[in-house]
């Protein structure tokens, strides 16, 4: 009698929590978001340019409260790669970069 082929048991995909996803993202950064160097750089960018760059280009005046890496490379902390954005604009840009489409 021939031997039976082994039964295939695929590995179950582990559900990744938001906390785990954030940790993985921060592990890829040059500086953690709570690192002193990043906090100083972030404060400098927001002091030099206090308005959201995206809103300003659309004719709105909104205070920036986040700093975005324009090329999505968290290792590139050159000043010309950092843009001040408000929370909604930063969220939209990040979602678009990661392939999420808005429900409009």
The secondary structure of 35-78, three-state, reads CHHHHHHHHHHHHHCCECHHHHHCCCCCECCEEEECCCCCCCCC
pLDDT of the residue at 89 = 96
d(CA 16, CA 1) in angstroms, rounded, equals 45
pLDDT at 25 over 60: yes
pLDDT of the residue at 98 = 79
Cβ proximity of 30 and 75 under 8 Å? yes
pLDDT of the residue at 7 = 65
Q: How confident is the model over 36-55, as pLDDT tens digits? A: 888 999 999 999 999 999 99
- Break the chain into its structural domains and give their ranges: 30-97
pLDDT at 77 over 70: yes
pLDDT at 61 over 80: yes
pLDDT of the residue at 73 = 85
């Amino acid at each position: 009698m021939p031997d039976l082929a082994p039964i295939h048991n695929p590995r179950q995909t582990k559900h990744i929590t938001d906390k785990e996803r954030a940790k993985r993202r921060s592990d890829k950064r040059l500086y953690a978001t709570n690192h002193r160097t990043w906090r100083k750089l972030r404060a400098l960018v927001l002091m030099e340019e206090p308005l959201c760059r995206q809103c300003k280009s659309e004719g709105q005046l909104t205070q920036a409260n986040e700093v975005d890496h324009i090329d999505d490379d968290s290792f590139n902390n050159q000043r010309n790669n950092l843009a001040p954005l408000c929370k909604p604009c930063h969220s939209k840009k990040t979602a678009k970069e990661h392939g999420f489409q808005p429900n409009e």
